[in-house]
């Protein structure tokens, strides 16, 4: 598993999860993992090496006695490699230096377990099994000094909980990445630019307007303006739930860009609540043409383009007069 781990190591895992020096220090502080604990753990490093083999053997016997964990060990060679890696880790637990490198290692190992699909309950169950075993060994070794056994055990608990937290974070991170990817896929939903009449476009904006979509929207709009030589554009934001200052900024930029292309943008579908919020924030949309709804926007655009909407009867009448 060590070889596989190296191959799968993502150098950016620490950054991806936001692990800075400050964050690591905070985690340690919250667990009250201090220098005393490190001294306690270092003091049993020799003992830990002595009980390493029996603990590892018991550990894997337990793992292999359950179908759901046994399935991971079809290959005997793999089992041997994993045992060695595990032994190294248990020994590492009592070697101090719970620094960046240590954290990074733990995160990578957590990621490997997530990738193979080891359930969190198995992860926690095995930590629990390990701690119970070690507790017995400590109890035996320090029969005459029960205080020492307890102190060491409590220090070990802190490091183990630090590690558990890191492992679970890698699991959560993976899920979040997955959700992120799904969101990305949903963002690919196109924002269609529709031609209503000669030189008049409608662009209905639906959903959340983030930077990515706003850029996409601007590009599509400008392309369409150029392709259709549009003079007026109705941008309808009825389907945009919230317009904060950033979204407003995006809209303003799109409007300015369209203006440079010779088209007037009319913003329609601004709800009373959003209008109120924009005023409260202090965003100035006064130099953007806005109308309450799409219908009035359409009327204004037609006026702008010199169209005049005439009822059928009237028009027929005129035609007849000509005939």
Partner 1 sequence: MAEVVRVAIRSDADIVMVRQQARVLAKELGFSASDLTLIATALSELARNIVDYAGQGEIILSLINQGGHRGLVIIARDNGPGITDIERAMQDGYSTGKGLGMGLPGTRRLMDEFEISSGMGQGTTVKVTKWAR
Residue numbers at the binding site for partner 1 (CB under 8 A): 18, 20, 22-23, 176, 179-180, 183, 208, 210-212, 241-249, 271-274, 276-277, 280-283
Minimum CB separation of residue 253 from partner 1 in Å reads 10
When the beta carbons of 100 and 316 are compared against partner 1, the nearer one is 100
Q: State phi, psi for 74 to the nearest 5 degrees.
A: -70, -35
Minimum CB separation of residue 51 from partner 1 in Å reads 39
Question: What does the alpha-carbon distance between residue 213 and residue 207 come to, in Å, rounded to a whole number?
Answer: 10
When the beta carbons of 84 and 183 are compared against partner 1, the nearer one is 183
Residue 59: closest CA among 87, 81, 97, 21: 87
Cα–Cα distance list, 242 to 115, 156, 187 (Å): 38, 49, 17
Confirm if 205 and 236 have CB atoms less than 8 A apart: yes
Torsion (CA) 216, 222, 223, 225 in degrees, nearest 10: 140
When the beta carbons of 22 and 312 are compared against partner 1, the nearer one is 22
Confirm if 263 and 233 have CB atoms less than 8 A apart: yes
Confirm if 232 and 304 have CB atoms less than 8 A apart: yes
Q: Which residues contact 244 (CB under 8 A, 6 or more apart)?
A: 277, 281
When the beta carbons of 15 and 68 are compared against partner 1, the nearer one is 15
Minimum CB separation of residue 239 from partner 1 in Å reads 14
Grouping H, G, I as helix, E, B as strand and the rest as coil, residue 307 is coil
Which spans in the chain are helix H? 2-8, 13-16, 21-30, 35-43, 45-64, 67-70, 76-92, 100-116, 120-141, 146-187, 211-228, 245-260, 272-281, 294-305, 312-322
Minimum CB separation of residue 32 from partner 1 in Å reads 20
CA 303 to chain centre: 47
Residue 172: closest CA among 108, 106, 111, 102: 111
Cα–Cα distance list, 59 to 26, 54, 62, 203, 277 (Å): 31, 8, 5, 63, 60
When the beta carbons of 139 and 212 are compared against partner 1, the nearer one is 212
When the beta carbons of 194 and 292 are compared against partner 1, the nearer one is 292
Minimum CB separation of residue 117 from partner 1 in Å reads 24
When the beta carbons of 11 and 61 are compared against partner 1, the nearer one is 11
When the beta carbons of 151 and 250 are compared against partner 1, the nearer one is 250
Minimum CB separation of residue 257 from partner 1 in Å reads 15
Minimum CB separation of residue 285 from partner 1 in Å reads 11
């Amino acid at each position: 598993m060590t070889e596989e781990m190296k191959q799968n190591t993502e150098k950016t895992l620490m950054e991806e999860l936001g692990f800075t020096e400050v964050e690591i220090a905070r985690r340690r502080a919250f667990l009250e993992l201090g220098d005393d604990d490190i001294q306690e753990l270092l003091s049993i490093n020799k003992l830990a090496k002595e009980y390493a083999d029996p603990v590892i053997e018991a550990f894997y016997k337990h793992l292999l006695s359950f179908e759901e964990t046994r399935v991971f060990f079809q290959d005997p060679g793999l089992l041997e490699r994993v045992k060695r890696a595990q032994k190294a880790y248990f020994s590492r637990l009592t070697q101090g230096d719970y620094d960046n490198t240590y954290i990074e290692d733990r995160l990578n190992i957590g990621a490997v377990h997530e990738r193979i699909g080891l359930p969190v309950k198995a992860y926690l169950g095995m930590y629990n099994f390990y701690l119970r075993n070690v507790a017995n060994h400590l109890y035996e070794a320090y029969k005459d000094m029960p205080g020492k056994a307890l102190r060491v055990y409590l220090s070990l608990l802190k490091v183990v909980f630090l590690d558990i937290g890191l492992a679970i974070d890698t699991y959560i991170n993976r899920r979040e990445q997955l959700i992120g990817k799904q969101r990305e896929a949903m963002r690919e939903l196109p924002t269609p630019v529709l031609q209503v009449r000669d030189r008049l476009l409608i662009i209905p904006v639906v959903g959340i307007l983030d930077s990515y979509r706003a850029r996409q929207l601007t590009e599509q709009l400008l392309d369409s303006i150029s392709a259709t030589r549009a003079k007026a554009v109705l941008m309808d934001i009825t389907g945009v739930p919230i317009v904060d200052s950033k979204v407003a900024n995006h809209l303003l930029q799109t409007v300015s860009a369209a203006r440079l292309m010779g088209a007037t943008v009319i913003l329609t579908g601004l709800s009373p609540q959003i209008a109120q919020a924009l005023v409260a924030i202090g965003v100035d949309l006064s130099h953007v043409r806005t109308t309450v709804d799409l219908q009035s926007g359409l009327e204004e655009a037609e006026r702008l383009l010199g169209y005049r909407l005439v009822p059928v009867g009237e028009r027929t009448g005129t035609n007849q007069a000509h005939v």
